[in-house]
Chain A
Amino acid sequence: MKVEFTAAQDALRKELRSYFEQLMTPELSAECDEAMGEGGGPLWREALRQMGKDGWIGVGWPKELGGRGMSPIEQFIFVEEVMRAGYPFPFLTTESVGPQLAEFGNESQKRDIVPKILAGECLIAIGYSEPGAGTDLASLKTSAVKDGDEWVINGQKMWTSLAHFCDYVWLACRTDPDAAKPHKGISMFMVPTSDPGWSCSPVVTLGGVRTNATFYDNIRVPADAMVGELNGGWKLITSQLNRERLSLVNFGPTAEMFNNVVRWAQQMEMPAGGKLIDEPWVQINLAKVRAGVEALKLVCYKQAWAMSEGTLEMADASAAKVYGSEFFIEVYRLLGEIIGQASLINRKTEGANAMASRIERLYRTASIITFGGGTNEIQRDIISAAGLWMPRATR
């Protein structure tokens, strides 16, 4: 065991850090701020294509799939650095659905969609939840019915984030309403948002971030729009979620924010004299964040390593998701306390401190991932059952 990065990994990180310093122009940063950290604007798209051209998006992908052939650890270093730079990286596409398509997709998906993902030219939203199917995802009702060589899709999805600027929805549909167990009658489809039967309407959230309700009205897709096997969707959903969980709790942005708050507090002269950072309670808050970030870093990298070894454990993926999502909320509280009143000021206020107003926004958005990506109650069920062998109640 050697928990330190290799010299090559350190060099890669350095290279990426200066790469993103160049890439993140003030104009791009401003556009991303305007998009509430979601991306989707023209400069954002251009930057994504640039990353694709420069071979970064698939740095840890096998060469035969168009990547650079490094490991998931290098892939994670890349994602950490792109997120540290403040670029809203479309990790659902690149880190979770993309690898699923590369592994389980059919020839046309591998030929037509995967290269576009690596080129930064294709974006995919995830269509799981429905008005009546959230945590109990297997009860979903959106249907795909076979008609000749085609599938006809009808239904509604909720919380289809990013869908308003995505090219496809990775859509979970019921293909066997009579399956013995509900999760055995689900298949996955790649549904183009350009279809006239597709529509979406915005849902504005506490954090100001837009998500969507999406509607599927007699959308006809060819047979090869299906991913994996008929009625074999559940396995794809769970392994996609395991991958997503790691990306959701990437520690990079938090590490960067911690460093920025430390630098700020070191310089902040108190009107009554002295520096803010000399306050013992400020130091304690910072130390709590620092100790927590360290754990998150290790949890993330252990999983990236496990992915490269092919030994990613379900309980570990869930533990990372629970720990990270709940820790983020704590971080925004602890750092917000240090910043004080300024951490309540929206960035649109004239003269607002950009770092402080970022915390103002993040504190409002942080609750999303304690339930999004599989609610933490279910994650804890998974941990006690798969990690500690505790028999659980049947549902």
Chain B
Amino acid sequence: MDFGFSEQQRDVQNLARQILGDNVSPESLAQYDGYKADRFDKALWDKLAEAGLLGLAVAEEYGGMGFGFFELALLIEEAGRSIAPVPLSAHLVSAALPIQQFGSAAQKQRYLPGVASGQIMLSAALTEPYNEDPAQPILTTATADGTGLRISGDKTAVPFAHLADRIVLSAKMGDGVVVVLLDPKAAGLSMTPMQVTTYEPQFALSLDNVSIAAEDILASADRGREVMQWLTERTSVALCAHQLGASDKAMRMTASYTAERKQFGVLISTFQAVGHRAANCFIDVECLRLNTYQAVSRLDGGLDASNEVQIAKIWAGDVGHRVSYAAQHLHGGTGIDRDYPLWRYCTWLRYNEISLGSSAKNLASLGKRIAAGEAFCR
């Protein structure tokens, strides 16, 4: 048991923190507020690629650095700390990782070098309207069409669908689930922009008999569910890592503010009621940190992490919510002023809380596992 970072992990952290710190600021983020522009910083994307960070977890033979899921999660934690305007989680975790893990040689050759170089962008359509289990698509169905497929149905909240080169998408096929790499320009696909709380570009997809070539099938009906569970676990943990970075930053921003703001002639940090609320955030963030790292560590080591992922997501939901409101409250009016950087964090904390299952949903699911004897304390 080792809670320290390896040198490699520290290097990734420092590099990511430096690039994101130098290139993301309240001013740079302001240009995307209210959908004034696509929340995507191409220059930053290219810098991340150049530094090797987009290819962190891509195998060396495809131009990546060949590191593991732990290093990737640390990059996403840093993206959360800066709420960087780049879709790292959808691109790298929900899409590139499953292609690398389950894709054919041709698919890996076709996409992974571009993932690492930043020349292509991938995304994933994980949820359907009111059906948020990516491994159980209901509204999207597939039928065989020669060696390929025809897919019809609806997906919701797909990040960057308009810029992506391919979108990982699951569909129900008989009793099974297929996973495909959807071309956003395919005939029969229409996308409607959605306005999301974070101002991230997201789209509702409607598929009407869209043709999928055999070469774009990532997993056939007998394997698709497993592939979707695999990528959902990792995407959930990526949300936890993003939440960790964002909540840690919101908390520290708050602590600094209370160390500058005076009322009654003294710093407001000297009021115990203020210090204690911040201390509660510190405890919360530490619990989120350790549970996230544990889930990451187990996935990185190829161990079963079903319980640990759910527990981390429960903490991510609860901690994000509590830190967000404590941070706003301790800032007073300043916290909700859009000229001050906190408010954007609050929208992301909310986004990460709800996405891919809230605390309540994960508690219910963990409860079922406990009842089935699958979650005893070791």
> Residues 258-296 of chain A: 1 if any B CB is under 8 Å from the residue's CB, otherwise 0?
110010011000000000011010111011101101110
Q: Are A287 and B269 in contact (CB under 8 A)?
A: no
Q: Is B70 interfacial (CB-CB < 8 Å)?
A: yes
Q: Is B303 interfacial (CB-CB < 8 Å)?
A: yes
Task: Say whether, besides A389-B259, A393-B270, A255 and B377 are in contact (CB < 8 Å).
Answer: yes
Q: Are A3 and B297 in contact (CB under 8 A)?
A: yes
Q: Are B272 and A391 in contact (CB under 8 A)?
A: no
Q: Are A4 and B275 in contact (CB under 8 A)?
A: no
**Bound-state Cα–Cα, A379 to B282, Å:** 12
> Residues 102-125 of chain B: 1 if any A CB is under 8 Å from the residue's CB, otherwise 0?
000000000000000000000000
Q: Are B297 and A4 in contact (CB under 8 A)?
A: yes
**Bound-state Cα–Cα, A382 to B298, Å:** 32
Shortest Cβ distance from residue B197 to the other chain A in the assembled complex, whole angstroms: 25
Q: Is A181 interfacial (CB-CB < 8 Å)?
A: no
Main secondary structure of the interface of B (DSSP, over half): helix
Q: Residue A290 contacts which of B269, B303, B373, B375 (CB distance < 8 angstroms)?
A: B375
Q: Is A299 interfacial (CB-CB < 8 Å)?
A: yes
Q: Is A353 interfacial (CB-CB < 8 Å)?
A: no
Q: How large is the interface on B (under 10, 10 to 19, 20 to 34, 35 or more residues)?
A: 35 or more
Q: Are A388 and B278 in contact (CB under 8 A)?
A: yes
Q: Is A385 interfacial (CB-CB < 8 Å)?
A: yes
Q: Is B287 interfacial (CB-CB < 8 Å)?
A: yes
Task: Say whether, besides A4-B298, A291-B363, A390-B255, A259 and B376 are in contact (CB < 8 Å).
Answer: yes
Shortest Cβ distance from residue A198 to the other chain B in the assembled complex, whole angstroms: 38
From B377, which residue of chain A is reached at the shortest CB distance? Answer: A255
Q: Is A176 interfacial (CB-CB < 8 Å)?
A: no
Shortest Cβ distance from residue A268 to the other chain B in the assembled complex, whole angstroms: 12
Q: Are A294 and B371 in contact (CB under 8 A)?
A: no
**Bound-state Cα–Cα, A256 to B301, Å:** 27
Q: Are B282 and A315 in contact (CB under 8 A)?
A: yes
Name A287-315 residues within 8 Å CB distance of B: 287-288, 290-291, 293-295, 297-299, 301-302, 305-306, 309, 315
Q: Is A384 interfacial (CB-CB < 8 Å)?
A: yes
Q: Residue A291 contacts which of B70, B276, B311 (CB distance < 8 angstroms)?
A: B311
Shortest Cβ distance from residue B30 to the other chain A in the assembled complex, whole angstroms: 27
User: What residues on A are CB-neighbors of B256 within 8 Å?
Assistant: 389
User: What residues on B are CB-neighbors of A262 within 8 Å?
Assistant: 370-371, 373, 376
Q: Are A286 and B308 in contact (CB under 8 A)?
A: no
Q: How large is the interface on A (under 10, 10 to 19, 20 to 34, 35 or more residues)?
A: 35 or more
Q: Are A277 and B279 in contact (CB under 8 A)?
A: no
> Residues 32-51 of chain B: 1 if any A CB is under 8 Å from the residue's CB, otherwise 0?
00000000000000000000
**Bound-state Cα–Cα, A252 to B60, Å:** 43
Shortest Cβ distance from residue B367 to the other chain A in the assembled complex, whole angstroms: 3
User: What residues on B are CB-neighbors of A379 within 8 Å?
Assistant: 279
Q: Are B280 and A390 in contact (CB under 8 A)?
A: no
Q: Residue B282 contacts which of A286, A301, A388 (CB distance < 8 angstroms)?
A: A388
Q: Are B364 and A392 in contact (CB under 8 A)?
A: no
From A73, which residue of chain B is reached at the shortest CB distance? Answer: B1
Name A344-395 residues within 8 Å CB distance of B: 377, 379-381, 383-385, 387-393
User: What residues on B are CB-neighbors of A309 within 8 Å?
Assistant: 4
Q: Residue A298 contacts which of B255, B271, B290 (CB distance < 8 angstroms)?
A: B290
**Bound-state Cα–Cα, A379 to B276, Å:** 9
User: What residues on A are CB-neighbors of B1 within 8 Å?
Assistant: 2-6, 9, 73, 301, 305
**Bound-state Cα–Cα, A309 to B5, Å:** 13
User: What residues on A are CB-neighbors of B9 within 8 Å?
Assistant: 1
Name B265-299 residues within 8 Å CB distance of A: 266-267, 269-272, 274-276, 278-280, 282-283, 286-287, 290-291, 293-294, 297-298
Can you list 25 A-B pairs, Cβ within 8 angstroms, ordered by A? A1-B293, A2-B297, A3-B297, A259-B377, A262-B370, A277-B370, A280-B367, A282-B367, A286-B367, A291-B315, A294-B294, A294-B377, A295-B287, A295-B311, A298-B294, A301-B3, A319-B286, A323-B283, A323-B286, A379-B279, A380-B275, A388-B251, A388-B255, A393-B266, A393-B270
